[in-house]
Amino acid sequence: MKKLFVVSIALALSLTFGTSSSYAKNYSVCTVEIPGGMTEDKEGPQPLFNFYQEIIKRVSDKTGHAFELQFAPALRCQNLFFKREIDIIWPYIISGDTDRFKEAGYTFLPIYSMPIIMGGYHIFTRKEDPVAHQIADLEGKSVVSARGYGIPVELENNEKITKSITNGNELIPKMILGERVDAGIIQTGWIPTLREQGLLEGLHHSDVIDFWGGSFTFYPDEEGVELMNTFSTTILELVTEGKYRNMMTGAPYYIPNY
């Protein structure tokens, strides 16, 4: 089944736009710091950054394109992309919800490469309070999330829940323990670092909710499709060579079972 899945991806990609380009370009890429995966100072494990470097090297060798990486808060990366001030964001949550993009004031639906990482959210509450297993358990309560990291659509649309935003995932446990809010929503990729820092002591959490995939994200035009095709075939190369799983071992997010 796994081999059929990989072959089907390769076939689908071969039917899209070609990967060669008649001219080389400089592209700007925006990403976020992910402790234990990719940081601007390169301190600690860097599996996501090492993966990025390998992908970019291979794509550049194929196309002649150059890629300049910048780190910024998640929401800034997102806004720069939808203002067309940068060309690529990664890793970005895959979504086909047109209405959600329109409600955010964005005018187009992006396109995505093969998923690189997978994740979701945990609902954290104080240990003396019941575990919140689902969004409905938060009705009548106050919930905080980190700016730029999104929240489940079910939470976003639930008017019976008081929602607030803070500037970083590391502030969420402090707000819960300080009884400033009843609960917090944290992406799975941040859990290892927060636990290592001792910030999750005194809290418990739900199972993963709202599972999603993350990938390289491009504009929905011919040039974007060509980039999407090239990046996806390059990711597929690493999968078929057996290098993808080795490179991503230890990454703070789940990785697809290719």
Q: Given this model, what pLDDT does residue 22 score?
A: 56
9 and 113 co-located in one domain: yes
Reported as a single tens digit per residue, the pLDDT across 61-114 is 999 999 999 999 988 999 999 999 999 999 988 876 777 777 777 889 999 999
Count Cβ atoms within 10 A of the Cβ of residue 181 and give its class: 0-12 exposed, 13-18 middle, 19 or more buried. buried
200 and 176 co-located in one domain: yes
Whole-angstrom distance, CA of residue 167 vs CA of residue 9: 38
Q: Given this model, what pLDDT does residue 5 score?
A: 40
Q: Given this model, what pLDDT does residue 15 score?
A: 40
Q: Answer yes or no: is 253 within a domain.
A: no
> Residue 184's beta-bridge partner residues?
124, 144
Domain range for residue 170?
120-210
Question: Lowest mean pLDDT: which of 48-52, 188-192, 202-206?
Answer: 188-192
198 and 72 co-located in one domain: no
Domain with residue 243: its CATH number is 3.40.190.10
- For 106-137, b/e burial (b = at least 16 CB within 10 A) is beeebbbbbbbbbbbbbbbbeeeeeebeebeb
Count Cβ atoms within 10 A of the Cβ of residue 147 and give its class: 0-12 exposed, 13-18 middle, 19 or more buried. middle
Token pair recorded at residue 63 = 């196309």
Start-to-end Cα distance in the chain:
10
Measure Cα distances from 176 to 128, 129, 172 in Å. Answer: 12, 11, 6
11 and 113 co-located in one domain: yes
The answer to whether residue 38 scores a pLDDT higher than 70 is: yes
Whether the model pTM is above 0.95: no
- Count of domains forming the chain: 2
Q: Given this model, what pLDDT does residue 252 score?
A: 84
Residue that wins the pLDDT comparison between 21 and 4: 21
| Helix (H/G/I), strand (E/B), else coil: 93 | strand
Q: Answer yes or no: is 254 within a domain.
A: no
Q: Answer yes or no: is 258 within a domain.
A: no
Contact present, 237 and 37 (Cβ < 8 Å): no
